[in-house]
Each structure stands twice: as C-alpha cells, then as structure tokens.
Amino acid sequence: MAGFFITIEGIDGSGKSTQARLLRDKLVEIGHDVILTREPGGSKGAEEIRSLLLQGNTDRWSAETEILLFTAARRDHVERLIEPALIADQTVICDRFVDSTRIYQGYAHHNLRKLVDKLHNLMIFRNPDLTILIDIDPTIGLKRSFARSNHETRFENLGTAKQSIMRNNFLKLANDFPDRFVVFDGERDFGIIAKDIFSYVTKFNATQTTAKTHNG
Ligand code: TMP
C-alpha cells in the first residue's frame, strides 16, 4: 500500500473518524506504514486555521472566504505532511479532504462548486486514490455529534435539513467519481463496518497494484 492516499468522508456524526482509526490500526497490524491525519488541520498551520473555521457563529465567514481558508489549510497540510508521506511510500488516511469542501462550501449557500474545483486544480492538485463515504441518516448523525459536545459546532449547527441536503450531495458526488468512491452504510454496528472497509481497501489496493504493474 506504499504511497496510497485514502480519504474518509461523510456528514457530521457519520462515524468516519472512528472508522479511520480502526482502518489505520488494522493496516498497521498487517505491517503497513500508515499516517492518519484529518482536515481541516493535520499540520501545525492548518490546525491554527481549523479553530478559525470551526468555532464561532455559522455566519462568521462568507462562503467564498471559507473556501479560501479551507484551501489555505489544505495547501499547508498537503505540502508539509501528505506529499512527503506519500513520497516516502507511506499510506495516508485522511479524515475529510476536498470532497468535504465540495459539499459543505460548494453547495451550501450558492453554487460555488466550480470555484472549489478551480482552486483545487490551481493550488492542491493531489487527489485521493480511494474515497470511503460513510452514509448515515442525519438525525442519527447529529445526535451522535452533539453527544460529543465540544466547541467545534459551527457546521453541526446548520441543522438536520441542511445536513440532509449534504448527505444527498455526498451520494451524488460518489456517482461523479465512481472510480475512487465507495459507499458504506454507516447505520450498522461499527465493528462490522470496519471489517467491510478493511476487506474492501486491501482488495482495492491489490487490484490497483496489479493494474499498475500491467501498465508498466
Ligand atoms: P469533523 O467534525 O470531521 O472534524 O469536521 C469538522 C467540520 O468541518 C465538519 O462539520 C465539516 C467541516 N468542513 C467543511 O465545511 N469543509 C471542509 O472542507 C472540511 C475539511 C470540513
């Protein structure tokens, strides 16, 4: 799995952070060199931007400013952590990446999806090899995420109706990028989901490696 980049996506409370940790643990157990990271954040500068983004009122930033801040945080994260790790042949698992910006900022207020894509192509370039989408009913998701009760609630505060639109947009996005997206039902027991994900990831990687070998 050397140099393999996996992202995990889903609405708030989907259980993706738990699944990211479990996947990391299982891959390490079978001998892979894995880095687990998250967005917004993952590097020192990006973690500083994270608090600007996740704390305060929902209307703290305009949608455009928010896209710039997420992209700035991502650029630092990719430059300082993700690219060096992939070049060093490590496997990187990232809890959220550009698909979250496509959904939360790209579709949230006006249609800014094209702007998100443009900035991504200009400043980030890197795309995941595999994206795991954990799909869940937003009423269950929000219950879970408020139970964690920390102060990073700017986006959870958007409420069930908006989270529901985001859920549907994530599913549409999975159809836009069928080569790298796989969707898992997040309403099942977390141990069963973890098993399914692990089995999918190891098979997916084996297919990719074979394809790369065949293509030289
Ligand atoms: P987390 O709960 O997975 O740590 O994510 C924090 C919040 O940040 C979550 O509500 C979604 C939001 N977010 C965006 O709005 N755009 C982005 O690009 C990313 C990475 C996260």
**From the CB of 107, is ligand 1 less than 6 Å away?**
no
Burial track 32-42 (b if 16+ CB lie within 10 A, e otherwise): bebbbbbbbbb
Mean pLDDT of the chain: 92
CA-CA distance, 136 to 49, in Å (whole number)?
28
pLDDT, position 156? 67
**From the CB of 101, is ligand 1 less than 6 Å away?**
yes
CA-CA distance, 87 to 21, in Å (whole number)?
22
**From the CB of 96, is ligand 1 less than 6 Å away?**
yes
**From the CB of 54, is ligand 1 less than 6 Å away?**
yes
Give residue 68's pLDDT band: very low, low, confident or very high (50, 70, 90).
very high
Which position has the higher pLDDT, 109 or 161? 161
- Asked if pLDDT for residue 66 goes beyond 60, the answer is yes
Q: 13 C-alpha vs ligand 1 centroid, how far in Å?
A: 11
**From the CB of 10, is ligand 1 less than 6 Å away?**
no
- Asked if pLDDT for residue 14 goes beyond 80, the answer is yes
* C-alpha torsion sign, points 125, 75, 197, 211: positive
Q: 54 C-alpha vs ligand 1 centroid, how far in Å?
A: 8
The pTM of the whole model exceeds 0.85:
yes
155 CA: nearest ligand 1 atom: 10
Q: 110 C-alpha vs ligand 1 centroid, how far in Å?
A: 18
